[in-house]
Amino acid sequence: MKAKILAAAEDFVHALNTPGDLKKVGQACSESIVIERMGVFSQQGQLVETFVGVDAVGSWLARTPAGIEFRVVSAEVADSPTWRVRYAYSVPKEGYHHAGTWLLRLGTDDKITWMQHNPDPSA
């Protein structure tokens, strides 16, 4: 199962790294995907946005500024069937690095059906 989680997370990273490519979003996410975006800074731990469906997720990812590079760091079981995936991102031109955690579940098609996007608290 861990290999399937990592593969799905890598597919999502490909979608993040090519914002606006709806085909890549569809390769990573089920049609009924639900993503809960948690806040950062003063909104840390609070639900700030929810995206339902591939089109909504694609619109969110299209907001990603150019030059950000995401990568998967690790995956482990959180609470079955939920997995915890650590991600990191950087903006090489600015020397900026940050990370966070995705909680996610896969559907029977091995695509992401639910995700909670949790940026780490800023230092």
Q: Tens digits of per-residue pLDDT, 65-114?
A: 889 999 999 999 888 899 999 999 999 888 899 999 999 999 999 999 99
- Position 25 confidence tier, pLDDT thresholds 50, 70, 90: very high
Fold classification of 2-119 (topology level): Nuclear Transport Factor 2; Chain: A, (3.10.450)
Q: Whole-model pTM above 0.85?
A: yes
- How confident is the model at residue 80, as a pLDDT? 84
- How confident is the model at residue 1, as a pLDDT? 84
For 7, phi then psi, to 5°, come to: -65, -45
- How confident is the model at residue 24, as a pLDDT? 97
